[in-house]
Amino acid sequence: MPKPILPPWVDQARPIFGAVLLLTPIYVLGVAWFAADPQTIDVGYAPTQPVPFSHALHAGELGLDCRYCHTTVDKAAQAAIPSTQICMNCHTAIAPESPKLAAIRESYGSGKPVPWVRVHDLPDFVYFDHSAHVNRGVSCVECHDRIDRMERVFQAKTLRMGWCLECHRNPDPHLRPQDQVFNLAWQADSPEEQLRIGQEIRQRNQIQPSTDCSTCHR
């Protein structure tokens, strides 16, 4: 009989090795899952809404401007969610019987707002301001991606502090002419052209995003 290569205790310990090998990945995955910041997991978050409202149809195909519904986005910190009245501007006449619009008609009758589910939600200790961005050449698409192609809204970016700071430190790749902010399809002809345009807009308008803690934590 050939001499065993491994010492005899290894044989006895085999079930333990097996268990460790099997359980370690499960343990590591479990820790990673719970330790992961919920903001990171939120990328792709796409809750079901009480009405299957499609931005791809309304903002994309029909070409409605974001500000037709999100009326405060260029005037205030918060981007308003449209009232039922805005939907009824069209839907008293268009698809008035559609079962997909049942919750809208109900809200219109009762005067109670539609319980839309929030998609993007920063922690309360963070201060954010829409108007400060969209009036300074930062388009919705930089932070929300192609909403005008989404059947259902999903969170496209991490919204983590590092993500905010990356742009605040170097905004040139993200600035566009003011008249293209609400046109999500706009793109510079090339990355070099984008940097040239971004730099020009930053210098002309003295855009200087702050990285002081108190800018976002007040």
Region binding ligand HEC by CB under 6 A among candidate stretches 18-26, 27-35, 145-153, 190-198: 145-153
Backbone angles phi, psi at 187, to 5 degrees: -150, 145
CB atoms within 10 A of CB 166: 13
Q: Is position 101 an interface residue for ligand HEC (rule: CB under 6 A)?
A: yes
Residue 203 interacts with ligand HEC (CB under 6 A): yes or no: no
- How many C-beta atoms surround the C-beta of residue 198 within 10 A? 20
Give CA separation, 64 vs 68, 69, 97, 182, in Å.
7, 9, 22, 10
Contacting ligand HEC within 5-24 (CB under 6 A) = none
Contact region with ligand HEC (CB under 6 A), list: 4-12, 21-29, 163-171, 188-196? 163-171
146 binds ligand HEC (CB under 6 A): no
Nearest to 188 by CA among 137, 149, 131, 147: 137
Six token digits for residue 108: 């219109």
How many other β-carbons are positioned within 10 Å of the β-carbon of residue 11?
A: 9
Among 108, 182, 197, 198, binds ligand HEC (CB under 6 A): 182
Which one-letter amino acid corresponds to residue 81? I
Kindly state whether residue 167 participates in binding ligand HEC, applying the rule CB under 6 A. yes
Mark the segment that binds ligand HEC (CB under 6 A) among 22-30, 105-113, 116-124, 189-197: 116-124
Find the Cα–Cα–Cα–Cα dihedral 143, 146, 150, 153, rounded to 10°.
Answer: 0
Q: Of 30-69, which residues contact ligand HEC (CB under 6 A)?
A: 37, 39, 49, 51-53, 55, 57-59, 62, 64, 66, 68-69
Nearest-approach distance from CB 92 to ligand HEC, in angstroms: 10
Q: Which is nearer to ligand HEC, 6 or 46 (CB)?
A: 46
When binding is defined by CB under 6 A, the residue of 45, 56, 120, 194 that contacts ligand HEC is 120
Is residue 121 close enough to count as binding ligand HEC by CB under 6 A?
yes
Of 23 and 185, which has the nearer Cβ to ligand HEC? 185
Q: What angle do CA 106, 108, 114 make, to 5 degrees?
A: 70
CB closer to ligand HEC, 14 vs 128: 128
**Tokens, residue 161:** 């502090």
